[in-house]
Structure 1
Amino acid sequence: MAYDVQSAKTWSPGDNAFYLIVEGTTQEEIKEYWEQLITDGEILQPLAPSQWSPLYGMLKHQFGVVWALSVLNDASPM
């Protein structure tokens, strides 16, 4: 899934024009993706439990794309 920048953030084309989100079914799966994407990247929000997910984090990988990763829980829509 992809989504545009939240209205509270300043939009900057080429910097944060859109984000990509990956939703997995296990914490191990998301941690694996995180480790692959974070190489030479920047952590924007560390992986941690959130109100909507057992594990959520956001990073900007080495090519400037912002990724949000989260684990689906029983209440998460598919």
Structure 2
Amino acid sequence: MAISTTTHLNFRGRAREALELYGSVFGGELAAVTYAQAGAVTDPAEADQVMWGQVASPAGFRVMAYDVPGHAAYEAGVDPVFVSVRGTDADELRGYWDTLADGAMVRVPLAEAAWSPLYGMLTDRLGVTWVLDLEVPWSA
């Protein structure tokens, strides 16, 4: 299986701005899914905010970002980064998940999501937050 880790940045209402900035610095293509596009709107004022976004360049630069929804706790500088593990083999991802989940706080159980057949989020016993998902092509 191919696997990659990506820095995943967390914002409140500024994820698109961040992705545009980093894309202008490092080059690459910006892809973003809004809460409305994912069918996950909890506050109509946040419908156009980024639920998932990334910039990926041919040179290898990659960063992901999203807008923390208003119903979730957010304080700039607190929990600002997730480690995103994307892979192409669901069984291998489940193995990583099972090992990381030992003693962890599961934030989102590993299951199907609107943008991926397999997605989950947990904070491991050392306080590091991990996002695991099955990488699939996306087109907006």
Give the TM interval when normalised to the shorter protein.
Answer: 0.7 to 0.9
Higher relative contact order at CA 8 Å, sep ≥6: structure 1 or structure 2?
Answer: 1
1:56 alignment partner in structure 2: 119
For the residue of structure 2 that corresponds to 1:49, the secondary structure is: strand
TM-score (norm 2): 0.49
Gaps of 5+ in 1: none
Across the aligned residues of Structure 1 and Structure 2, the Cα RMSD in angstroms comes to 1.8
Structure 1: 4+ residue segments shifted above 2 A? none
Equivalenced residues, count: 75
Gaps of 5+ in 2: 1-5, 13-68
Alignment of 1:34-73 (within 5 A): 34-73=97-136
Identity value in percent:
29
Report whether the alignment pairs 1:32 with 2:95: yes
Name the amino acid aligned to 1:24: G
Higher strand residue share: 2
Larger-gyration structure (1/2) = 2
Return the offset for 1:17: 2.5
TM-score (norm 1): 0.83
